[in-house]
Structure 1
Amino acid sequence: MPGNSTTVVHADDNVRPSHAVAPPIYQTATFSAEDAERFAYAAVEPRGQDFYTRFGNPNHAQVAAVVAQLENTEAAMVTASGMAALSTAVLALVSAGDHVIGQTSTYGGTGSVLLNLLPRFGVSITQVDQTDPGAFERALTPQTRLILVESPSNPLLQITDLRAVAELAHSHNAVTLADNTFATPLNQRPTDFGIDLVWHSATKYLNGHSDVSAGVIAGTAETLDKIWETATLTGAVLGPIDAWLLLRGLRTLPLRVPRHNANGHALAEALQDHPAVSRVHYPGLPDHPQHALASRQMSGFGGVLGIELAGGYDAADEFLGQLRYARRSASLGGPESLAVHPVSMWRGMLSDEQIAESGVPFGLVRFAAGTEDTADLVSDVLAAADAVAGRHSR
């Protein structure tokens, strides 16, 4: 298998519909066929690319080819957003009466799918502490069909033992679906540990420029065909221009991720002993409770860290206001650093009680390091922490 830098440039060679070096944008809603036989086939071909853009598009196929090879899977497909990827996959895989296991530490949108969406369709759910592999086993029922994992988790950067969960699921005929958004396939490939399906908010690192909303799912061709059938019904289709931009972003993923990794690690080390900070959540730090597991599963630790301010909610808000380079904004993975207060962001999706149950501290800031100069970012966050320390310190 070629290296990552070669993969992002050449993995789509076999699905390029022209000899153009820079791929064309297929900005069309529909395609014609030369005869009735070809038209009939194109109308039902799973993940095809020349019938109707809701069913597939050449720009979709190129992105899918690159992501599938990066994640070491048979196939992949794109959607209009990360949440579209998750919800489409879940709706395709479970039915009324089934049981789904998720994590208590997980992205707020994923938590809302578990707590607010699936129960409306007669699907029962259980959320468990991902740091305890035994918790997944204790949550299993004869009706368990799907286990959702996220490692590192958003925003606490907790680690899931992917191999242990995959082996458990397979022994009970359950499917595993992993959110690999934070890690990217450059830092971690869940299928190497037995995970069945991987999804990303491709809005983040895969695109890398904060200008596209997209999602992607990778796995076996058979399972992707099933998810594709649901996707054609939900209609969460990625526009051709966005798919083209996503492909362009993927071309530089191996150049960008090492810089994000380096900046995230430097910031975590700089802040871990600051008096305004009660704890830094970052799996690359030796004192992270799951550092050993993270080191076995990951080749890099990513650009996201959780900064827990000693002064709680008010201190977190003040810290954000003091930052010069990091913008107060949702999302991550672009060249610019972004920082957000998860509790403030998730109050529109989850109640305060649900947020508290997830274990997210009210003083936590999620900092997504961009690709700025490391020294400038470190100086900026230390100055912000110094400003807060005068009124809020441990």
Structure 2
Amino acid sequence: MAENYQFETRCIHGDGGFVEGHPYGAVSVPIFQTATFAHPGIGKSTGYDYSRESNPTRYELESVMSSLEGADDSIACSTGMAAIGICLELFGEGDHILCTEDLYGGTVRMFESIGEKRGLKFSYVDTSDIDLVRKNIRKETKALYIETPSNPTMRITDFAEMRKLADEFGLLILADNTFLSPYFQKPLQLGADIVVHSGTKFLGGHNDVLAGFVCVKGKELSEKLRYTYKTVGCSLSPFDSFLVLRGIKTLSVRLERQQENAKKIALWLKNRPEVTEVYYPGLEDHPGYEVNRKQATGAGSMLSFRVDTVERTRKILESVKLISYAESLGGVESLITYPMLQTHGDVPVEIREHLGITEDFLRMSVGIENAEDLIKDLEQAFQ
């Protein structure tokens, strides 16, 4: 029975039965590179009419994502930002959304430009502080927007406590699950109503495709989001759907290796005299360690660290050889990022500094290379 399949099997087969429907028994999903589908007759349909609305390749990807996240529906979008964008259409003028203060900078940019232009209101608090969240809920608050671990300072938010507040005040919970993916964390099972992903990252896993997902609990939310999706036209292409589906097949084995490498690097960084702070939820001295262990099965492979001087920060970025100085994350290749200039460059300086995203702060996405080779590369860059 499909419900007995373990996560690793569902990464490859979903809930089962896809191959039976593939032309010629193709084991891999065919790429249905077509914009339109012929009707068998008047008022009749094959189930697919136009690829902006639905496509067989994309449908298989969406079905696998629903299986992995435990969602009633999953919607594959052209980018992670497109996924967030259609979620905003659930809200109207004057509605307030209370957000994790340490969010991906692109999310903040969308909220404060496109969202506010539409009359939505946003405020940001440390959602790891339950009392602070409660104090900032207003009568016009409609949703909590949570990212845990947060980007880039790796703060952890307790889903169970957020669900209690959501039930008390009648709020939706939207959660960005990009950093841990459904392999390590399943927010819908923990109390979220909607989960968003940048599928570009761990789900795709190879730094070669842009994608986004909205995973939903409940028919009503699904219908509203599907209507916006069809209308706006931010659907993922058939070829990109194929690439992400191919990436997901190795999600579990990639993430295990990436997490193993990240833990080794985090411990190495903690012992370096040049490093003043390490942010990784898999370390026992991380303030969110116990909460993350309660609600997730792993700490993932994203980590950040602070060094003793700005000069050293810049030297590391310009000296790494095996590790690439680049934006993005989650691929098999290790990347190092300078958040103050890259991911959070549009966030006002005073807010960045309040969050600790300063000139001596670096973020690393650990890949699947040999951990000792990565450490040697960092070591020579530190010299």
Please indicate the TM-score interval, normalised by the length of the shorter structure.
Answer: over 0.9
Question: Is 1:342 equivalent to 2:345 in the alignment?
Answer: no
Q: 67, 74, 77: which one pairs with 1:69?
A: 67
Question: For residue 81 of structure 1, what is the aligned residue in structure 2?
Answer: 79
Sequence identity of aligned pairs in percent? 32
Gaps of 5+ in 1: 43-48, 388-394
Question: For residue 243 of structure 2, what is the aligned residue in structure 1?
Answer: 245
CA contact (8 A) 2:80 2:196 kept: yes
Question: For residue 392 of structure 1, what is the aligned residue in structure 2?
Answer: none
Question: For residue 203 of structure 1, what is the aligned residue in structure 2?
Answer: 200
Question: For residue 277 of structure 2, what is the aligned residue in structure 1?
Answer: 279
Alpha-carbon distance in 2 for matches of 1:12, 1:55: 23
Question: For residue 212 of structure 2, what is the aligned residue in structure 1?
Answer: 215
Q: Figure out how many residues of one structure are paired with residues of the other and give that number.
A: 376
Match of 2:363, SS?
strand
CA contact (8 A) 1:102 1:114 kept: no
Alpha-carbon distance in 1 for matches of 2:127, 2:261: 26
Question: For residue 391 of structure 1, what is the aligned residue in structure 2?
Answer: none
Question: Is 1:6 equivalent to 2:9 in the alignment?
Answer: yes
Match of 1:100, SS?
strand
Question: Is 1:24 equivalent to 2:30 in the alignment?
Answer: yes
Deviations 1:342-369, CA, capped at 9 Å, x for gaps:
0011465333234234432321111111
Q: 37, 53, 66: which one pairs with 2:43?
A: 37
Question: Is 1:269 equivalent to 2:267 in the alignment?
Answer: yes
Question: For residue 304 of structure 1, what is the aligned residue in structure 2?
Answer: 302
Alpha-carbon distance in 1 for matches of 2:131, 2:36: 50
Question: For residue 359 of structure 2, what is the aligned residue in structure 1?
Answer: 362
Alpha-carbon distance in 1 for matches of 2:231, 2:106: 21
Q: Give the counterpart letter for 2:297 in structure 1.
A: S
Question: Is 1:225 equivalent to 2:231 in the alignment?
Answer: no
Match of 1:345, SS?
coil
Shift of 1:105: 0.6
Q: 166, 175, 178: which one pairs with 2:175?
A: 178
Match of 1:307, SS?
strand
Alpha-carbon distance in 2 for matches of 1:156, 1:274: 19
Alpha-carbon distance in 2 for matches of 1:291, 1:228: 37
Q: Which moved more, 1:179-188 or 1:359-368?
A: 359-368
Question: For residue 137 of structure 1, what is the aligned residue in structure 2?
Answer: 134
Question: Is 1:377 equivalent to 2:374 in the alignment?
Answer: yes
Shift of 1:14: 4.4
Q: Which moved more, 1:269-278 or 1:339-348?
A: 339-348
Deviations 1:251-283, CA, capped at 9 Å, x for gaps:
111111100100111110000131111101001
Question: Is 1:194 equivalent to 2:191 in the alignment?
Answer: yes
Question: For residue 255 of structure 1, what is the aligned residue in structure 2?
Answer: 253
Q: 167, 170, 188: which one pairs with 2:164?
A: 167
CA contact (8 A) 1:15 1:58 kept: no
Question: For residue 316 of structure 1, what is the aligned residue in structure 2?
Answer: 313
CA contact (8 A) 1:105 1:130 kept: no
CA contact (8 A) 2:106 2:344 kept: no
Deviations 1:65-109, CA, capped at 9 Å, x for gaps:
111111112221100011111111122x11101111111111001
Q: Give the counterpart letter for 1:38 in structure 2.
A: K
Shift of 1:9: 1.6
Shift of 1:146: 1.5
Shift of 1:323: 1.4
Alpha-carbon RMSD across the aligned residues, in angstroms, is 1.6
Match of 2:362, SS?
strand
